């Protein structure tokens, strides 16, 4: 399915819609007034209230079940669409423009047309990316990620139904990543391409566009926890809960734990301690889907076979694992409740992490309050952009930055009139 001119259409009509898109966009850009931010917020607020009231439960329940998203988690995400949250986001991200010396006036305007290439690791993210473009008046073209299951089209179609003025500002396409000709057509009519994904996706997008088109990249980032031997059981339990809740699928999800020690023995003792807590927490969560569990089983079996070479210590549980590793290099994990533990004394933090610069995002601190200031400084100097508690690693707040930057600023421009 695709969404164009306010209508849900079969994918077979996609080529014709893309072919006529340039003409449609020009007509919208020629309108005397840009999209009203107030109308966008009002429509989102109405939609959020209807969702929270349960008006869409019959439609949403099977979609959320297929995506393995709990009703509570979805409702938490819906709160970001409320009037209170969106007004706070605009206040924080855009602020007030300082006046210039007369007679010069300046004002904020949309970039024009945004082409969103969304990732599928966060359910609902494609629709929220479009919402951010709408808030500053852009026309938005969305490429659906694989496995979207219709959630994004449902959300965006309902917004249009609530506020018909959004009709000309939202288009959703189901274009495979291999269909380069269609992707280039969409990129060519955009003022900027917003890409969510890893290095390969970002590089592919840069090769897709010409020099006149801006590329705004979000991700791929790596996040981790940092612990001292004085970390409390409460802190580590909350970290384990975070890992089970996110399945390590977000850029802000904990991939592993660095321990403030030079000693491999202390590192292994910490790994065993965390594993015991982790295994207990994991039992209270819904099991990992079988296909993911099967893939992890192969990876972990390989770890077992190669322990004499790698010098890794492996702690295996029912649906979770902890691998105590020799190297301190930053890396991703096997995902789905499989965590590495490495030693990283605080004196080595900057030299170890700085080479990863733009891949760093969040660190969750499992430390004593007296250590927070010193460690925060070291992580900031290394390039981290979020420093928080273990339970707050993936918490989204209105006005929160994306990878250390404000998206609404990226999606708008300042015009000066003299």
pLDDT band (50, 70, 90) for residue 64: confident
Strand, helix or coil for residue 7:
strand
| Residue of 175, 166, 173, 221 lying closest to 196 (CA atoms) | 221
The DSSP string of 145-177 is PTT-TTHHHHHHHHHHHH-GGGGGGEEEE---T
Higher pLDDT, 75 or 144: 144
* pLDDT reported for residue 121: 61
pLDDT band (50, 70, 90) for residue 123: low
Residue 158 backbone dihedrals phi, psi, to 5 degrees: -65, -40
CA distance 137 to 114: 10
* pLDDT reported for residue 71: 67
Element (H, E) at 366: strand 360-366
Do residues 145 and 249 touch, judged by C-beta distance below 8 A? no
C-alpha separations of 356 from 26, 191, 382 in Å: 42, 30, 9
Higher pLDDT, 399 or 274: 274
CA of residue 267 relative to chain centroid, distance: 31
Higher pLDDT, 381 or 33: 381
CA distance 221 to 332: 9
User: Which residues are CB-contacts of 183 (< 8 A; sequence separation ≥ 6)?
Assistant: 143, 175, 177, 208
Do residues 254 and 332 touch, judged by C-beta distance below 8 A? no
User: Is the per-residue pLDDT at 291 higher than 80?
Assistant: no
Summarize pLDDT for 209-232 with one digit per residue, the tens.
988 999 999 978 999 999 999 999
Mean pLDDT of 332-351: 96
Summarize pLDDT for 72-116 with one digit per residue, the tens.
777 778 888 999 999 999 999 998 887 777 788 889 999 999 999
| Residue of 383, 390, 388 lying closest to 404 (CA atoms) | 383
Mean pLDDT of 332-361: 95
β-pairing, 113-117 with 170-173? Answer: unpaired
Instruction: Please report, rounded to a whole number, the percentage of residues in the chain having pLDDT higher than 90.
Output: 68
Task: Give the largest CA-CA distance in the chain.
Answer: 74
* pLDDT reported for residue 324: 97
User: pTM for this one?
Assistant: 0.88
| Averaged pLDDT score across all residues of the chain | 91
User: Is the per-residue pLDDT at 160 higher than 80?
Assistant: yes
User: Which residues are CB-contacts of 293 (< 8 A; sequence separation ≥ 6)?
Assistant: 287, 319, 336
What angle do helix axes 83-94 and 125-135 make, rounded to 10 degrees? 60
* pLDDT reported for residue 418: 82
| Residue of 140, 136, 139, 87 lying closest to 107 (CA atoms) | 136
């Amino acid at each position: 399915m695709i969404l164009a001119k306010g209508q849900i259409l079969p994918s077979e009509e996609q080529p014709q819609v893309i072919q006529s898109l340039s003409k449609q966009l020009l007509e919208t850009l020629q309108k005397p007034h840009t999209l009203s931010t107030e109308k966008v917020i009002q429509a989102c607020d109405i939609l959020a209230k209807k969702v929270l009231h349960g008006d869409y439960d019959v439609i949403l329940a099977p979609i959320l079940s297929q995506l393995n998203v709990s009703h509570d988690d979805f409702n938490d995400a819906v709160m970001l669409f409320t009037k209170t949250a969106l007004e706070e986001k605009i206040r924080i991200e855009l602020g007030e423009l300082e006046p210039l010396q007369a007679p010069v006036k300046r004002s904020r305007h949309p970039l024009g047309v945004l082409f969103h290439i969304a990732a599928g690791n966060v359910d609902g993210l494609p629709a929220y990316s479009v919402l951010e473009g709408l808030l500053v008046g852009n026309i938005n073209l969305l490429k659906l990620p694989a496995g979207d299951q219709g959630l994004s089209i449902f959300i965006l179609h309902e917004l249009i139904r609530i506020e018909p003025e959004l009709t000309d500002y939202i288009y959703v396409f189901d274009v495979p990543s291999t269909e380069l000709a269609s992707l280039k057509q969409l990129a060519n009519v955009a003022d900027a391409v917003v890409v969510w994904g890893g290095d390969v996706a970002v590089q592919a997008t840069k090769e897709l566009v010409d020099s006149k088109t801006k590329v705004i990249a979000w991700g791929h980032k790596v996040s981790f926890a940092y612990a001292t031997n004085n970390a409390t059981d409460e802190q580590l339990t909350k970290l384990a809960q975070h890992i089970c809740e996110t399945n390590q699928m977000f850029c802000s999800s904990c991939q592993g734990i660095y321990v403030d020690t030079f000693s491999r023995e202390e590192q292994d003792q910490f790994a065993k301690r965390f594993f015991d807590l982790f295994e207990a927490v994991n039992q209270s969560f819904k099991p990992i889907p079988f296909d993911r569990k099967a893939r992890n089983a192969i990876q972990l079996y390989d770890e077992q076979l190669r322990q004499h070479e790698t010098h890794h210590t492996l702690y295996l549980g029912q649906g979770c694992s902890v691998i105590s590793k020799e190297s301190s290099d930053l890396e991703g994990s096997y995902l789905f409740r499989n965590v590495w533990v490495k030693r990283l004394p605080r004196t080595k933090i900057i030299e170890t992490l700085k080479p990863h610069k733009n891949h760093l995002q969040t660190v969750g601190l499992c430390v004593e309050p007296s250590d927070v200031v010193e460690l925060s400084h070291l992580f900031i100097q290394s390039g981290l952009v979020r420093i928080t508690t273990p339970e707050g690693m993936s918490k989204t707040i209105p006005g929160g930055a994306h990878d250390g930057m404000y998206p609404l600023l990226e999606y708008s421009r300042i015009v000066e009139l003299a």
